[in-house]
Amino acid sequence: MKPSDTDPRILSLAAEVAKSPEQNVPIILLKLKEIINNTPSGSSELKKIKKDIYCYDLIQYCLLVLSQDCSRIQGGWTTISQLAQILSHCCVGLEPGDDAEEFYKDLLPSATENFLVLGRRLQACFINAVKSEEKDELLHFFQIVTDSLFWLLGGHVQLIQNVLQSDQFLHLLQTDNVQIGSSVMTLLQNILQIHSGDLLKIEGKALHSILEEVVFKLLSTSSPVIRSTATKLLLLMAESHQEILILLRLSACHKGLRSLLNKQETRTEFSQEFRQLVDLLSPKVYQEGEEQKLHQSACLIQAYWKGYQTRKRLKKLPSAVIALQRSFRAKRTKTLLKLNRQKEEEDLKLRLQLQRQKAMRISRELQLSMLEVVHPGQVEKYNREMEEKSALIIQKHWRGYRERKNFHQQRPCLTEYKAAVTLQRAVLKFLAKRRKTKKLFASWYGLQEFTDARRVELKQQVDDYVKRHPGSEMSGVASRELHAQAQERLQHYFMGRALEGRAQQHREALMAQISTNIEQLMKAPSLKEAEGKEPEHFLSRSRPVATKAKQAHLTTLKHMQAPWWKKLGEEPGDGIDVPKDELSIELGTLFIGGTKPP
């Protein structure tokens, strides 16, 4: 629908509802009553207004308000009853157009159920009320709600079946209060007068429950109003459908309904209705012997079955009572916890909203005071600087979020890489050990046993080699010098071997420390979750590393705090010189990984 075709009153009302807080919406929706009352009934203009109300979701807003708690709505039951009238009048005579399926299958059943739930709430408040003025006011609101429901059912008769099958309606009918019970039975009578055929379309259990409740009210109450209404209702149901009349006859056989009606027949004010009901339930109407035997057999079967059920229930009564008490207490505890939790959540939301509003107000007041202090010629410069600071803050948060996200994504890869390195190291050590073992025993593989002929042959070969390569004779002094040189080189070799071993141990210790630091950093909690002295476990014991980290940290801070025009033309890898006096600060609080020095 185009905005130009919409009624301007509906358009302005919808805009006001959208912009207003939640607690003001019910009062604003009450303006719909004035718009509907000022429009001629049955006119095309009224149909168009109802369609506009539906298209702009004002009917849905009314449904939401009716489902809320009365104590949270401004005006209380007065506002709710008026909104119920508005909702019923808007739904009757409405042509939804393209949204017909949603309107008939979702919205109308929801509205009917909301009316019944609203009646249950009013019934509970009426029972708990103490003052007579308060009871009269609640009864008036209950009558408004039932009239609104009847108006809705009169415009949409397909909803009658939903109302008759609803558990909420049955609970309303089972009330012990005379005024509430009379209103509910009058509503049921008016509904059946509109379309009584729906009474047989409901489930058999629901139909029996309604009949039994009406008969019970007629038998148990001493109020003439309830008796008159119940009698008229039974007459209407019995005269409308033969099946209901048979059910009433069967129920009258074991409940004594006919005998009670015969005793009450002498009363003049109800004599006509009682006589009609007695005539319908009289044995003269059904004189056939087979039907009488059938009724007697049914009564006998019912008596035996009910006796068996009663004895069975009495046996299970103690355990059933205990289970009922346990379930009731558990349900009550759960309900109280749920209500407390909902109240705490609502209070928290309200506090957060108030804090945000207060912070926004303080921020705006601070901006206004700053603008008052700044010279008019410097306002543009001030705004530009504020925009640059805001952009830097946004960039800082975005980069931090991106790096944290990348780190969390790379953490599984780092874990897998570390595991692979550990496995490779273990495999390489194992292979090296195996190769070393093979070299020790390789020279003995494949050796043949020496025979005397082989020993003579080898000795001849050695003598021939010595003859061909005679050695130079060496004096004793030269031998001692050569021996001294050999001992010195051997000593240097052993000393170098010891130094190399200590260096290898130092390298392995450093690699183990680095692995430990990496593992601690990967398992370290975030800065928000860190508590107590946990950050002190990540201080470096190496002063060169701490100095390098401090230098990198100061370089990053200076680069971030520098104005944007100083960063023009810089490459990402360009460094910034940091004074040495800034690096001479105590490094004990620098968070760079490792453990705190002793």
- Render pLDDT for 187-208 as a digit per residue (tens, 0 to 9): 777 777 777 666 666 766 777 7
Amino acid (1-letter code) at residue 555: T
For residue 121, count other CB atoms closer than 10 A to its CB: 17
The model's pLDDT over 394-448, given as tens digits with 9 standing for 90+, comes to: 999 999 999 999 888 888 888 898 999 999 999 999 999 998 888 776 555 555 6
Task: Look at residues 114, 45, 124 and name the one whose alpha carbon lies nearest to residue 83.
Answer: 114
Predicted pLDDT at 593: 39
Say whether pLDDT at 479 is over 50.
yes
CA distance 429 to 439: 15
CATH class of 3-287: mainly alpha
Say whether pLDDT at 173 is over 70.
yes
Say whether pLDDT at 233 is over 70.
yes
Predicted pLDDT at 590: 42
CA angle (522, 525, 526) in 5-degree steps: 105
Domain ranges in the chain are 3-287, 535-583
User: Helix/strand/coil (H, E, C) string of 507-562?
Assistant: HHHHHHHHHHHHHHHHHCCCCCCCCCCHHHHHCCCCHHHHHHHHHHHHHHHHHHHC
Lowest pLDDT segment from 79-83, 180-184, 417-421, 592-596: 592-596
CA distance 422 to 138: 79
Residue in the structure block whose two tokens are 């929801």: 110
Predicted pLDDT at 262: 53
The C-alpha R_g of the chain, in whole angstroms, comes to 48
Q: Average pLDDT, stretch 234-262?
A: 62
Task: Look at residues 547, 542, 543 and name the one whose alpha carbon lies nearest to residue 578.
Answer: 547
Q: How confident is the model at residue 577 (pLDDT cuts 50, 70, 90)?
A: low
The model's pLDDT over 18-76, given as tens digits with 9 standing for 90+, comes to: 787 777 777 877 777 778 777 777 777 877 877 777 777 777 778 787 777 777 777 78
Q: Are 137 and 125 in contact (CB under 8 A)?
A: no
Cα 333 to chain center, whole Å?
21
Residue of 453 and 584 predicted with greater confidence: 453
Say whether pLDDT at 15 is over 70.
yes
What φ, ψ does residue 530 adopt, rounded to 5°? -70, 135
For residue 166, count other CB atoms closer than 10 A to its CB: 19
Predicted pLDDT at 55: 79
Q: Classify the phi-psi angles of 366: left when phi > 0, otherwise alpha if psi is within -120 to 50, otherwise beta.
A: alpha
CA distance 120 to 138: 12
The model's pLDDT over 252-309, given as tens digits with 9 standing for 90+, comes to: 443 455 555 555 544 444 456 666 666 666 654 444 555 667 778 888 899 889 888 8
Say whether pLDDT at 318 is over 80.
yes
The model's pLDDT over 481-538, given as tens digits with 9 standing for 90+, comes to: 888 998 999 888 888 888 888 889 988 988 888 888 788 778 777 767 767 666 666 6
Predicted pLDDT at 598: 37
Q: Average pLDDT, stretch 135-160?
A: 80
The model's pLDDT over 327-382, given as tens digits with 9 standing for 90+, comes to: 999 999 999 999 999 999 999 999 999 999 999 899 888 878 877 777 777 778 88
Q: Is 60 helix (H, G, I), strand (E, B) or coil?
A: helix
Query: DSSP H helical segments within 282-378, as ranges?
Result: 289-373
User: DSSP secondary structure string, 372-437?
Assistant: HHS-GGGHHHHHHHHHHHHHHHHHHHHHHHHHHHHHHHHHHHHHHHHHHHHHHHHHHHHHHHHHHH
Task: Look at residues 217, 233, 160 and name the one whose alpha carbon lies nearest to residue 191.
Answer: 160
73, two tokens = 């709505």
Predicted pLDDT at 399: 93
Say whether pLDDT at 592 is over 50.
no
The model's pLDDT over 91-137, given as tens digits with 9 standing for 90+, comes to: 877 777 777 778 778 888 888 888 888 888 887 887 777 777 887 88
Q: Are 595 and 546 in contact (CB under 8 A)?
A: no
Amino acid (1-letter code) at residue 311: R
Please indicate, yes or no, whether the overall pTM of this predicted structure exceeds 0.85.
no
Q: What is the rounded average pLDDT for all residues in the chain?
A: 77
The model's pLDDT over 516-526, given as tens digits with 9 standing for 90+, comes to: 878 877 877 77
Please count the CA atoms within 13 angstroms of the CA of 463 that sit on its side-chain side. 6
Residue of 89 and 392 predicted with greater confidence: 392
CB within 8 Å of 51: residues ≥ 6 apart: 1, 94, 95, 96, 97
Q: Average pLDDT, stretch 528-552?
A: 72
Judged on CB neighbours under 10 Å (0-12, 13-18, 19+), 163 is buried
Q: Are 565 and 512 in contact (CB under 8 A)?
A: no
Please count the CA atoms within 13 angstroms of the CA of 211 that sit on its side-chain side. 26
Predicted pLDDT at 568: 66
Q: How much of the chain, in percent, has pLDDT values that exceed 70?
A: 78
CA distance 564 to 388: 8
287, two tokens = 């004189």
